[in-house]
Amino acid sequence: MDLLNIAIQASVEAGKEIMKVYASDFKIETKEDESPLTIADKRANDIIISYLKQTDIPIISEENKQIDFSERKQWKQCWIVDPLDGTKEFIKRNGEFTVNVALINNGEPIMGVIYIPDSKTLYFAEIDSKKAFKAQLENHDTALSEIYKNASEIAPIKNKDKARIVGSRSHLNEETQKFIDTISENEEVEIVSKGSSLKFCLVAEGKADLYPRYAPTMEWDTAAGQAICKAVGITVNVLSTNKPLQYNKENLLNPWFLVSNRN
């Protein structure tokens, strides 16, 4: 069973369903944590779960009821899924939302798939290959063979002239500003703004150098992006310890972290 094939198919099929909702007059609900939810989140989740279930690997998804850690801590492997990352961007209709699917082994991401349904752009990586790829799909029904055939390898590029720092469209708080100010003392800074897990992709494909995150994220927001970054030698480290983000923790909330190509 090729797990990458399944993850890609699940992501693209979910993206296809998301775009059907995107084109409609959808309703917006509010979850317990005050974050928005749409029928696109639910439908995409159902599609992804239907694909991943055939692997018999347990699943952590933003839209699933979370399983108690007493059971999860026994898992060697698990999938971590965000069926619609960037629901706020989806509601704003700016196209900057993604489908995130990652495979975790002993707390570390080993495979990641990020699909951008609006532009039909796909990023994917397996850590063991030490390579990450980007593919532009003609449509949501593009065959796997065509996806692999047309995929191009991506790699980070260190910009010697300035530091390109990724800032969220929704979060630019005091701590982030302090980080930017510190960097700007020694070199020119350019702010690159993107929503959702696209921020990881920017660093992975050489369009940005640093992505500091001083705001709450959950494991499903970062797992796929971290896998893609790790495959091309980019660190995604906890700011307080300088060690990689870990997954399937008792608390699925991430600490503050930094994505960096300056290793």
Angle at 57 between CA 250 and CA 90, to 5 degrees: 75
Is residue 94 a contact partner of residue 196, using CB atoms and an 8 Å limit? Answer: no
Residues 7, 126, single domain; the answer is: yes
Residues 67, 124, single domain; the answer is: yes
Among residues 110, 136, 154, the one where a domain terminates is: 154
Residue with tokens 């047309």: 150
Residues 52, 182, single domain; the answer is: no
Of 52, 47, 55, residue with least CA distance to 84: 47
Residues 145, 82, single domain; the answer is: yes
Here the CATH number for the domain that contains residue 253 is: 3.40.190.80
Residues 225, 104, single domain; the answer is: no
Residues 132, 254, single domain; the answer is: no
* Per-residue model confidence as pLDDT tens for the chain (263 residues): 699 999 999 999 999 999 999 999 888 888 877 778 889 999 999 999 999 999 999 999 998 888 999 999 999 999 999 999 998 889 999 999 999 999 999 999 999 999 999 999 999 999 999 999 999 999 999 999 999 999 999 999 877 789 999 986 555 789 998 999 999 998 999 999 887 889 999 999 999 999 999 989 999 999 999 999 999 999 999 999 999 999 999 999 999 999 999 87
Residues 82, 147, single domain; the answer is: yes
Among residues 106, 122, 154, the one where a domain terminates is: 154
Identify the domain containing residue 174 by its residue range: 162-260
Here the CATH number for the domain that contains residue 82 is: 3.30.540.10
Total number of domains constituting the chain: 2
Question: Rounded to an integer, what distance in angstroms lies between the CA atom of residue 45 and that of residue 257?
Answer: 27
Residues 20, 137, single domain; the answer is: yes
